[in-house]
Copies of this chain bind each other. A is one copy, B any other.
Amino acid sequence: MTESCLVTRLENFVSLTEGEKRFVAYLEREERQVSRGDTIMAIGSAQENLYVLKYGWAIVRSREERGRRAILRIYLPGEVIGLAELGLGTAIHTLEMRTDGAICPFPREAISEMYEAAPRLAALMTAISSLDQQELRERLFAFGRLRAEERLIQFFVALRDRLAITRIGANNRFHLPLTQSEIADYLGLTPVYVNKLLQKFAREGVIQTCDRHIRLLQREMLEERVGHQSLYASIDTSWFPRAHS
């Protein structure tokens, strides 16, 4: 039996006990198939669920204001959607599938149950959620202080780093199911300029793009250039409570 990709992800950080795995399975007990373009949460709707994203990519879109739109977060397989929204009663952003996929909805109350039944798992999710915040801070720095070129590079290396956690993206090559417009929305640029930069990079031989795939030809150099450091490499588990069995 192949393991849940959430378990794979979590076991990067601590190896889970049987009880913890059971709790993850409990979160994943209901699975729903979803299609590219489906809206999972709409702005203004009541939020009662979180989701484990089992397959596919999902994105968080901002409201659209005078034609200005943004993509605020990309969710990859094995990530938990909704931790960042726990405090909100109604959604202020849209969650949309970018590819076909599958999600496992579970109610917010399960988070409370987790404190009790699997406290170490709760701590781990808290820690991961804090890394999400760190990633947002890094993006904020990039938006405010880096040129478009460097922002695009940061996007690629950070994405590869996150994909690597669930063992995707060997050879520095990975699937990128986003249009250039979407990349622009994620980076605060225009589609036209993203296009020009991608061509420039291809010309310079730092990346290859073909058929919705990206290959980073000089990854080390690129990571160096934007001062990338893997957030997930150094997670601190020292303060976690002991796992119940």
Partner of A133, one of B65, B108, B133, B235: B133
Interface residues on A, range: 35 or more
Copy total for this chain: 2
The answer to whether B130 touches A122, judged by C-beta atoms less than 8 angstroms apart, is no
Interface segment among A20-28, A141-149, A198-206: the answer is A141-149
> Which residues of chain B come closer than 8 Å to A235, judged between CB atoms?
87-89
Interface string of A107-124 (1 = CB under 8 A from B): 111011101100100110
Closest to A242 in B: B112
Residues of B within 8 Å of A132, CB to CB, are: 133
Which residue in chain B gives the minimum CB-CB distance to A226? B65
Query: Quick one: which of B69, B112, B238 contacts A119, CB cutoff 8 A?
Result: B112
A residues with CB within 8 A of B: 47, 60, 62-63, 65, 68-70, 72-73, 83-90, 92-93, 107-109, 111-113, 115-116, 119, 122-123, 126-134, 136-137, 139-141, 143-146, 185, 187-189, 227, 229, 231, 234-236, 238-241
